[in-house]
């Protein structure tokens, strides 16, 4: 079968790879669509695993296997990792830190014509896609789940004041999820005019620079939570200035290991600002994301700026890396 193979140093090609077989107790999925995630573009992260098939936002149709209520012919969303749900980390709600989370995986990856889903993932985090939700919208389940988990960690809720640094697809999801959670005010910070326009068209003010006074003016005070959806070190450093007393700055897009970030911690010491990092999402988060998308609380399809076929995967990655695209969806022919 065909799959998008990452060879290292940013190079992706469409290759023939062995077709996966139905795992014992698992599922075989005919992939319909798969989004390209920012982590697919992080060479420093992907190079250690090359050659590998990328993609972890797949939606497709069950070809073979039955697990619970999941049957052949059913449209499903497939998560790429699952926790054990039994260890101390899982019991404390830190599902993504469970050793089983990174050990479990789909075979070979979502940017392929077919994927095999092992029994542990099939049982815990393969979700039926309701009739009213398109494949494209369902492909947003995984990134939205990551956002919802992070916002739960940061305590976002009714009355929250939220600043989002970086108005790409993840930043827009942060703003939409915060609004859906009842945030009192939401503002984006984005230097690129075209992305500011997208945020404004979605109903959120967006500023060209992280000026604390302008952010406070837009929010009615400094932010209770600042979500940093860029790996730019200067943007990360400036985010500290946007957080109010007891506020949270959450790092959503990591810089490469070893990248220095000059943080003026003295400037926020007396405000008792917390710095968090968040990675991926667990089963409760994917279900919450599916519910929010199904209710229309987030328009998943509106985030997708480009749709390309699997045969155009090299161009899909070029667009995603260039910043020309908001969100790239690969449609599997």
Distance CA 27, CA 22 (A): 6
The CATH number that domain 147-277 falls under is 3.40.50.720
Q: Which residues pair with 115 in a beta bridge?
A: 29
Residue 89: what pLDDT?
96
Residue 323: what pLDDT?
86
Find all residues with CB under 8 Å of 217, minimum gap 6, and list them.
none
Residue 30: what pLDDT?
98
Residue 138: what pLDDT?
98
Nearest to 107 by CA among 37, 39, 28, 1: 28
Q: Per CATH, which fold does 2-139+304-331 belong to?
A: Quinone Oxidoreductase; Chain A, domain 1 (3.90.180)
How is the chain split into domains, by residue range? 2-139+304-331, 147-277
Residue numbers of the chain with a pLDDT score lower than 50 = none
Tens digit of each residue's pLDDT (9 = 90 or more) over 219-240: 999 999 999 999 999 999 999 9
- Collapsing DSSP to helix, strand or coil, 119 comes out as helix
Distance CA 170, CA 37 (A): 9
- Collapsing DSSP to helix, strand or coil, 19 comes out as coil
For residue 176 the two structure tokens come to 């939409």
Which uninterrupted H or E stretch holds 247? Answer: strand 243-251
For residue 17 the two structure tokens come to 């790879």
C-alpha distances (whole Å) from 259 to each of 117, 231, 242 are 36, 10, 22
In terms of pTM, does the model score above 0.95? yes
Distance CA 306, CA 316 (A): 8
Pairing of strands 206-207, 126-128: unpaired
């Amino acid at each position: 079968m065909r799959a998008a193979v990452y060879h290292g140093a940013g190079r992706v090609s469409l290759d023939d790879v062995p077709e996966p077989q139905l795992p014992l107790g698992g599922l075989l999925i005919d992939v319909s669509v798969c989004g390209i995630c920012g982590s697919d573009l992080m060479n420093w992260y992907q190079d250690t695993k090359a050659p590998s098939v990328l993609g972890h936002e797949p939606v497709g149709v069950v070809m073979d296997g039955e697990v619970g209520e999941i049957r052949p012919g059913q449209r499903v969303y497939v998560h790429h990792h699952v926790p054990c749900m039994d260890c101390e980390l899982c019991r404390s709600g830190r599902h993504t830190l469970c050793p089983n989370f990174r050990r479990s995986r789909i075979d070979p990856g979502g940017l392929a014509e077919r994927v095999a889903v092992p029994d542990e993932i099939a049982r815990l985090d393969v979700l039926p896609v309701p009739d009213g939700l398109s494949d494209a919208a369902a492909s947003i389940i995984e990134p939205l789940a990551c956002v919802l988990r992070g916002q739960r960690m940061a305590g976002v809720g009714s009355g929250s004041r939220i600043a989002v640094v970086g108005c790409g697809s993840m930043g827009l999801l942060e703003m939409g999820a915060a609004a859906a959670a009842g945030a009192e005010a939401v503002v984006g910070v984005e230097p690129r005019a075209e992305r500011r326009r997208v945020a404004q068209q979605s109903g959120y003010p967006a500023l060209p620079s992280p000026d604390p006074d302008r952010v406070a003016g837009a929010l009615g005070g400094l932010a209770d939570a600042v979500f940093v959806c860029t790996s730019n070190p200067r943007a990360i450093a400036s985010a500290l200035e946007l957080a109010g007393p007891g506020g949270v700055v959450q790092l959503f897009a990591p810089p490469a290991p070893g990248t220095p970030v000059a943080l003026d911690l003295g400037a926020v010491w007396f405000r008792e600002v917390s710095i968090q990092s968040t990675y991926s999402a667990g089963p409760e988060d994917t279900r919450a994301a599916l519910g929010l998308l199904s209710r229309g609380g987030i328009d998943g399809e509106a985030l997708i700026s480009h749709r390309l076929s699997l045969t155009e995967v090299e161009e899909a990655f070029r667009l995603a890396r260039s910043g020309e695209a908001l969100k790239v969806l690969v449609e599997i022919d």
